Amino acid sequence: MRSGMFITLLAIFTFFTFPFVTCLASTNIDAGPAIIHVHDNPSLKNANEEFTSNLSTLDRFALWITEEVGSVGFFLIVVAWTFTWLLWNSLGPRWGRFDPYPGFVLWLFMSNVLQLVLLPLLMVGQNLSSMRMGTKNNVDRHNIEVIMKQNKEIIDLIEKGKSYPSDEGKNAN
């Protein structure tokens, strides 16, 4: 039980400290030289780099709009703009009102234009976010496969390091 936990901890430690080259040295001086193994596995991928490398300028703009419009800051800006507009045109000086009560026709028109412009952009941004999640899932699957293969190689190397011929000769005496 303890040796299995030790092997697992050693594999995790080795993976995080030596991502491409694993060097396991024997603690027993008579056991022989250190085992050196260079991984021929593919490297780990970054999902964000993988996704953003294939985006056009318009796609980047749509994602930016989606992230900004979906924020609390944008919501507060729209609420402040709406209240300012309605208060100014209801309670402001008569000479300064440009969209008088009760119609607020210009305000309704501008709000609808804002909605009509942002709605397709938000839909495109949502589609791109969905594609990003698909890319992330594929990259995660690839990274898990690489890590599993590296861990198996590390465990195999540890097992090989335990059975040196010099160890067998000592047990016979």
pLDDT tens-digit readout, 41-64: 677 888 878 888 888 888 888 888
Summarize the confidence of residues 138-159 as an average pLDDT.
Answer: 88
Helix H or strand E segment including 24? strand 21-24
Residue type at 156? D
Nearest to 107 by CA among 99, 116, 95: 99
Helices marked H in the chain — which ranges? 2-17, 47-52, 57-69, 72-91, 105-162, 165-172
Q: Where are the domains of the chain?
A: 2-172
Summarize the confidence of residues 125-148 as an average pLDDT.
Answer: 88
Nearest to 167 by CA among 10, 3, 27, 37: 27
